[in-house]
Amino acid sequence: MFMKNSALLLLASFCFLCLTYKKQTANPTVDPPEEILQSAASFPIGAALGYNLLKDNVLYKEVVSREHNSVTVENAMKWGNIHPAPQTYRFEQADFIADFALARKKRIHGHTLVWYMSNPGWLKDFKGNANQWDSLMKAHIQTVVTHFKGKVAAWDVVNEAFRDDDGTLRVENRDTKPDKDNGCIWARNVGRDYLAKAFQYAHEADPNALLFYNEYGQEWSTKKTQSILAMVADFKQRNIPIHGLGLQMHIDINTSNDGIANAIRELTKTGLKIHMSELDISVNPKNEVNFVFTEELKQKQADKFKFVATTYKTLVPENQRYGITHWNVGDADSWIRSFMKRQDYPLLFDEAYQKKKAYFSFLEALK
Ligand code: XIL
């Protein structure tokens, strides 16, 4: 009798345990796992990260930890930040972002070694001949690339070398405002071949890193696209290492779909990796005052994000898909608000890091 009772008790406790265990664990057939960008896509999905946001904003960190598997450093690797004085390199902010990414096994995309913008005052004032400028550029590239060797998977070696209007190389300043320079100190001082030199120097410092040329506006400037193609052909002929092309994709809800598709199609022909490197989709491109982000605009933005993801998947062969990177995370973090000074909502998450309509349509298109 005693044996029978204890056996019954044992059985009852076992059943109870089974039931509570079942209650506590998610049942995949009943509760499908939450869908996230990085697992929906067959290629990396990135975000450009700001140092202060990552350091101070828990929600920001949470969203990136969960959704993205590639990280671009939005500003901390640019000359002005990383090399603020002739003998001073400041790596702390870029290291902080890189450590965050490495700890979570996310790819790090380096941005950017050579650019006509974001250069510190001391550099703009530097006086020297072509050889001295060349040495300066080489030392910078190799110091930065060596510092991140083995951590940074790929670099935007040169950013925005070609002009908006005629697609020619930026050299002399054509801006009439005295404080603006849309020419390029590198082309002026090192010479027009600074592009090839920069790639060569980066390759010497880290032969395993993939090297990208990054540019905006290919979707509306076929002249820029042609210049990029000519540059790639020239590099190939001279054995200058280049592995990828970045299309920044700072677009808006009215950007021509044909323009986007044509740019991707043309650049893909190079056989290089294609990175949508700075995607954001503006909904208030004309900077209207008292702008309202209506349901209609939300839908248009969602449709455009869907088009971008679908077109990337359709036109870029799998082995050329380096990934799609969003230029920051929540609408309030976007450079369009801070730098362009526009009331806009260009990203996948809103100010409170809630997923927007655009998020869901982009996610669906990735699958
Ligand atoms: C922007 C950053 O997002 C801003 O925070 C900064 O003030 C200026 O630069 N093309 C590029 C990026 O390649 O480096 C730019 O980033 C946006 C345009």
pLDDT digits (tens, 9 = 90+) for 125-172: 999 999 999 999 999 999 999 999 999 999 999 999 999 999 999 999
| Average pLDDT over the chain, rounded to an integer | 94
Cβ neighbours of 125 (radius 10 Å):
7
Residue reference for tokens 């060797």: 149
Half-sphere exposure (Cβ direction) of 50: Cα atoms closer than 13 Å: 14
The whole-number average pLDDT for the span 285-294 is 97
Q: Which amino acid is at 359?
A: Y
Residue 28 has pLDDT above 60, yes or no: no
pLDDT at 20: 46
Closest ligand 1 atom, CA of 160? 13
Distance, CA 247 to ligand 1 centroid (Å)? Answer: 14
Residues marked as catalytic: 160, 278
Residue 13 has pLDDT above 60, yes or no: no
Position 289 confidence tier, pLDDT thresholds 50, 70, 90? very high
Position 14 confidence tier, pLDDT thresholds 50, 70, 90? low
Six-digit token string for 78: 């640019």
Query: How far is the C-alpha of 107 from the C-alpha of 46, rounded, in Å?
Result: 8
Query: How far is the C-alpha of 71 from the C-alpha of 270, rounded, in Å?
Result: 25
Residue reference for tokens 């999905």: 45
CA angle 176, 74, 149 (to 5 degrees): 115
Cβ neighbours of 146 (radius 10 Å):
12
Percent of the chain with pLDDT over 70: 92
Closest ligand 1 atom, CA of 327? 3
Please indicate whether residue 279 or residue 23 has the higher confidence score (pLDDT).
279
Residue 224 has pLDDT above 70, yes or no: yes
Q: Which amino acid is at 18?
A: C
Packing angle of the helix pair 295-315, 357-366 (nearest 10 deg): 20
Residue 15 has pLDDT above 90, yes or no: no
Query: In which element (H, E) is residue 363 found?
Result: helix 357-366
Find out whether the peptide bond into 325 is cis, omega within 30 degrees of 0. Answer: no
Buried b (16+ CB within 10 A) or exposed e, 255-287: beeebbbbbbebbbebebbbbbbbbbbbbbbee
pLDDT at 256: 98
pLDDT at 26: 53
Distance, CA 335 to ligand 1 centroid (Å)? Answer: 7
pLDDT at 179: 84
Percent of the chain with pLDDT over 90: 90
**Residue 107's beta-bridge partner residues?**
70
Please indicate whether residue 246 or residue 33 has the higher confidence score (pLDDT).
246
Q: Which residues line ligand 1 (CB under 6 A)?
A: 74-75, 159, 216, 248, 278, 335, 339
Query: How far is the C-alpha of 52 from the C-alpha of 106, rounded, in Å?
Result: 19
How does pLDDT run across 307-353, given as a tens digit for each residue?
999 999 999 999 999 999 999 999 999 999 999 999 999 999 999 99
pLDDT at 206: 98
Residue 23 has pLDDT above 50, yes or no: no
Query: In which element (H, E) is residue 358 found?
Result: helix 357-366
The whole-number average pLDDT for the span 235-251 is 98
Query: How far is the C-alpha of 297 from the C-alpha of 287, rounded, in Å?
Result: 14
Closest ligand 1 atom, CA of 339? 7
Six-digit token string for 262: 């044509």
Distance, CA 173 to ligand 1 centroid (Å)? Answer: 20
pLDDT at 98: 98
Contacts (Cβ under 8 Å, ≥6 apart) of 281? 251, 252, 253, 255, 301, 304, 305, 308, 346, 358
pLDDT at 22: 44
Q: Which amino acid is at 223?
A: K
Tell me if 293 sits within 8 A of 345, measured CB to CB.
yes
Choose which residue among 53, 248, 326, 339 to substitute to test ligand 1 binding: the one with the highest number of ligand atoms within 8 A of its C-beta. Answer: 339
